[in-house]
Amino acid sequence: MKRIILGALALFMPWAASAGDTAYDWRTNWPTHHVFADGTDLGLTVKYQYDIDRFSEDGGVFENAQTNRRKEFGFFVRKKGVYDATAVYDFQAKAWLDVFFRLQTKALFGSDLGAVRVGFMKTPVGFEGNTGTGSTSFLEASLPMQAIYANRRIGVEWASIQKAYLVQLGYYNGGNLQGDLDGRMVAGRAAWTPHNAPGDVLHLGVSVSRESPYGSTDGRGRYTPPGVRLRATPEAGLATQRLVDSGVLSVADHVDRRSAELLWIQGPWSVQGEYLDARVKLDKKPAYKAHGWYTFGSWVLTGESRGYSAGNVADVVPKGPWGAVEVLIRYSTLDLDDGPVLGGTEHDWTLGANWYLTKYLKLQANYVRAISDRRDVRVDPRIMEIRAQIMF
């Protein structure tokens, strides 16, 4: 992986020398793509994260760990206002990520009727889940997002993104590119953005989906009926144990997911929050319900603002030579207990600090205080997490 990254950088580096009399600034311009005369933009993407997790007061449930969190490598080609396509693979998880083609209808019809995307992509229910994993404010997604978010599926999607609103509709069928999660899903998301300018954002949104999972038959002809499982780690990416887990809910006819989201950015301050729930319709059993929510506040000490574009947030872009510094606090809670299903309850407090050295380099630190209760067993770990990230 390192040889691929270094070789790719060496391939693109000569373009920086052709900038004429302008001195090259490595902090703000890594030449990892090239724009041709007709506007076609061709390039590569890399995301590398190394994590260190330390656990305490956990009763021996978790083991300290330090290793690669993500090793993503991808390519893209796009032409502004016409189309874009990408393919990304995570060599750490050994899994495909975004693989899709998107076409802007304005290029075909002369009027902006939205964009149509086909391929393998994130489903729209879950604001935090749709934020790029390199641009998240905390190291890991909140408890309810981990449990309820449906992640990526193969399908087709239409979206209209305007300055004051966005609407997104999708139909997905065929599971994922790893050969799992067979089933079909319909989903939609809508948001109102009455304030949508750099450093001044108000975003209010809702989303819904219905997924109908399929059963599967293995090579020996053994049939496994459709099921749904909701669970979450204590907001630590290297944790191998989960403190809350519904177990496999079978036989599942369908699962309905809903969310309500809020984002407010005013200069260096921001607040983000979301409520999510899931209702699993089971055959000959009462429906199972799970729910949770999170909220967090952010203050960029160096005065920059969190980024926002196309209905989602982006990293802080530092302005000064020493980068940008952000401090945060988050509370999240998840309830997986419902009727006879004792999946457990958990709520976490997380303190965070981010140092954006450049637009490509970021250091993050989180301290998590988790409190869980499942079947009258309490496990309340303290977790210290550190991440170094390079992304372009």
Q: Please tell me the least confidently modeled range out of 13-22, 124-133, 158-167, 174-183.
A: 13-22
The pLDDT assigned to 28 comes to 75
User: What CA–CA distance (Å, rounded) separates 29 from 332?
Assistant: 37
Confidence of residue 6 (pLDDT cuts 50, 70, 90): very low
255 prior amide bond cis, ω within 30: no
Instruction: Label residue 24 by pLDDT band (50, 70, 90).
Output: low
Closest CA relative to residue 166, chosen from 213, 120, 112: 112
Question: Does residue 299 register a pLDDT over 90?
Answer: yes
What confidence category does residue 23 fall into, taking pLDDT thresholds of 50, 70 and 90?
low
User: Is the CB of residue 49 less than 8 Å from the CB of residue 70?
Assistant: yes
SS3 127: helix
How far, CA to CA in Å, does 320 sit from each of 134, 285, 312, 353, 356?
Answer: 21, 59, 24, 18, 10
- What are the residue boundaries of the structural domains of the chain, listed by start? 2-7+38-391
Mean pLDDT for 276-280 is 98
Comparing 202 with 175, the larger pLDDT belongs to 202
**Interstrand relation of 244-245 and 361-374 (parallel, antiparallel or unpaired):** unpaired
pLDDT of residue 212: 97
pLDDT of 22: 52
The CATH code of domain 2-7+38-391 reads 2.40.160.10
For residue 306, give the 3-state DSSP assignment. Answer: coil
271 pLDDT higher than 70: yes
